[in-house]
Amino acid sequence: MDEPQLVYNENSPIYTSQEVQVEEMTSFHLYCHVNGNPNPTIRLRRGVNANVIAETNGTKWLNHTINSLQCSDTDEYTCSGDSTGLPSKKIVFRINVICK
């Protein structure tokens, strides 16, 4: 299984431990790609407790949109790929919402 690759708002890559600055009240489109055979389960988690906010099976892409970012969306996020018999792969990044 390959390392996850992240892109937000159609064309901006995200790297591990990167902090993404986004303005409040804007939409945020996140695309997480994890290549594997078989296709892994891809999960997007938020925060210290790692609550799952999106999950997909049977595809190499997880797409998630926050329609209107709020200050409260500032947090650490993790995109991970899991497949039976293989070690999990993940990328951790931070969304920092610039409040008005």
In the 3-class helix/strand/coil scheme, how is the chain assigned residue by residue? CCCCEEEECCCEEECCCCEEEEECCCCEEEEEECCCCCCCEEEEEECCCCEEEEEECCCCEEEEEECCCCHHHCEEEEEEEECCCCCCEEEEEEEEEECC
The pLDDT-based confidence of 58 (bands split at 50, 70, 90) is confident
Indicate whether 49 pLDDT > 90: no
The pLDDT-based confidence of 11 (bands split at 50, 70, 90) is confident
The predicted pLDDT at position 15 comes to 84
pTM value is 0.90
